[in-house]
């Protein structure tokens, strides 16, 4: 592990700045996409989970997003009304409902994300295989820890107000 030298502190500060810029750019980009699709940003990001993970129950989607089941019901209603998802009965348990993407609606999303995918590929291809392995491991570590922090933050929301 590196010691915190002045140079390391400067690099950490620069990384922090770039993470903030990337976060803002990402939020703004996804808001534009949501607007284009006629969705709000929460609905759009929930749709991403369904695209990435495949069919999910409403309860599982609530767990992944840290939203209440009531909020998720509203999300699913809006996504269904917009034609992006449908509710289907679980073939193994008729009491359960599974939410799945409507394949025909995915073409709209593909066109929106293709330019970003090409740009990302172009940048990534400027790195060596070893650098890409490092970047992938770094992103997995950041994303894993971020999920932990998100769950912790949600669990402690009530206590945050008590501390102030």
The DSSP bridge partners found for residue 85 are 101
Would you say 58 and 26 are in contact if contact means Cβ atoms under 8 Å apart? no
Closest CA to 47 of 116, 115, 140, 112: 112
Q: Give the pTM.
A: 0.76
Angle at 145 between CA 60 and CA 41, to 5 degrees: 50
From the CB of residue 130, how many other CB atoms can be counted at a distance below 10 Å? 8
- pLDDT tens-digit map of 68-111: 999 999 999 999 999 999 999 988 888 899 999 999 998 888 88
Element (H, E) at 110: helix 106-124
Domains and CATH numbers, the chain: 9-104 (1.10.10.10)
């Amino acid at each position: 592990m590196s010691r915190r030298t002045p140079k390391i502190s400067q690099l950490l500060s620069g990384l922090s700045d770039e993470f903030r810029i990337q976060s803002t750019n990402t939020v703004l980009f996804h808001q534009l996409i949501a607007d284009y699709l006629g969705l709000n940003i929460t609905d759009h990001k929930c749709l991403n989970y369904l695209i990435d993970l495949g069919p999910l129950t409403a309860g599982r989607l609530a767990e992944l997003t840290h939203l209440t089941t009531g909020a998720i019901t509203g999300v699913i209603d809006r996504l269904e009304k917009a034609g992006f998802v449908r509710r289907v009965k679980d073939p193994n348990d008729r009491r359960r409902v599974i939410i799945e993407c409507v394949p025909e609606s995915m073409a709209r999303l593909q066109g929106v994300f293709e330019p970003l995918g090409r740009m990302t590929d172009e940048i990534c291809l400027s790195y060596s295989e070893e650098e890409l392995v490092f970047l992938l491991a770094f992103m997995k570590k950041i994303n894993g820890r971020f999920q932990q922090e998100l769950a912790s933050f949600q669990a402690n929301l009530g206590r945050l107000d008590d501390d102030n």
